[in-house]
Amino acid sequence: MIHNRRNHHQVDALQRPSLSVAQHYTLNEVEFYGYEGLFTRAVEGQRVVVAMRDDHAITIDESGDVDMAPDLALRR
């Protein structure tokens, strides 16, 4: 069976228990606007959450701050 990763709910890939309280709160807020949390990535010693809506990526840092134009290279 072939899985399309984009259609698969990927919340488990986020390892939500490892997110900060601020990241949980902000992720819940952006999910309301249609973003889907995809994965976490270590950037400059911090764990950031990468979320997407359509073709627009955002990141959420450990303080819960959102970067609406992150410098990311994502595979399709």
**b/e map of 26-40 (b: 16 or more CB within 10 Å)?**
bbeebeeeebbbbeb
pLDDT of 20 > 70? The answer is: yes
Distance CA 26, CA 16 (A): 12
The model carries a pTM of 0.77
Q: What residue spans define the domains of the chain?
A: 11-67
11 has pLDDT over 80: no
CA 61 to chain centre: 10
Whether pLDDT at 10 is above 60: no
Handedness of CA 28, 43, 72, 39 (dihedral sign): negative
34-60, pLDDT tens digit by residue?
A: 999 999 888 788 889 999 999 899 999
pLDDT at 72: 80
Average pLDDT of span 51-72: 93
Retrieve residue 72's tokens: 């990311």
